[in-house]
Structure 1
């Protein structure tokens, strides 16, 4: 597996609805550059990544193709239309990739992914894991709620909040999704959970994330991102 090429797939199918814009959130500017440009720069810079594929909201492919050319992101080989859901975009990427490559899936709305996180995800895959996720410890107590009432609390020491990248041997994720296709109740919000559910004997490595590697979801996140961009 050590010779396998590494492909970073940026999932950029989200919209700007919760941020309060008609423009997709990944095209909104932070520190004078589109959010997606910050994420692309991180993978372009990383010596652990060989190729980048972007799965973009279909109505805005031209904008991404233009910024790829403007900023010289030479590792980007394809800008493709994303699906209606995250899993549909993942499936679309898997269909165009070939062989036993290693794939990192990253939310384009996480502009501050670090070189360390990217490198450690790849190292974990090259070290023997066929699936890996990025996560940080939960700083908050997590409670269970029903009908507006607290019904219990969970052990915080055993909880973590998933981020991206999530990395896989392509063949492992293809196998997991093939099994998911046979499940009429299949739903998923991330790709590692698909492996956990349908390949339960497959260990999933965990790479320590970073609080700055947050996902821009609403308007306050844009303000936080702007503030963070002014810091070293």
Structure 2
């Protein structure tokens, strides 16, 4: 009989978190549906959300006969969201939607646009996601509202995706990362970018995004290292039979 490894409770929990995406880290987050979102009065929040929805509605695919959004429409939405943010600088949802608008602008104008302009757009996108996370993250052990949790889950996952894309681009020969990586991260290596992505995916999963939970496991450097060791051991064992 093969003896079982003597793992401490903590070691077992670490291994479970490394390899099991269903070991939902969101269990550590207390969500209280009675809390006011972002400290706003419900009536005030409803007014902000209504105005915000009106701004972003033209960005929806169904709003265009071609299924794509014109750059001028995206720029108009960015300007309107910027005005909303200027009036309500502590309202994180507006930053999240402006980040989405920057993403649309970046994807729609990747071809035939000056690299310096694209670099500015990606930098603005990262800055807005960072602002969302800064404004919406609760203090340790503090509960948060469902809207706050969803916003944090989406923003961490969005930034994690961008960081992972930047890491993959860095690994490609002769790649130009100005399209996918902000200026302040241009000197960061691919492995570090992937570790940053993994951290964002962890928090995205912690706040409830199921896709982020899966990606956190796939990009976790320790899980990948252990997986490589197991793969090599299996390979050697198989070869020993021949």
TM above 0.5, one fold?
Answer: no
Larger Cα-atom Rg: 2
Q: TM-score range by the shorter chain?
A: under 0.3
> Higher helix fraction: Structure 1 or Structure 2?
2
TM-score (normalised: structure 2): 0.22
> Higher strand fraction: Structure 1 or Structure 2?
1
TM-score (normalised: structure 1): 0.22
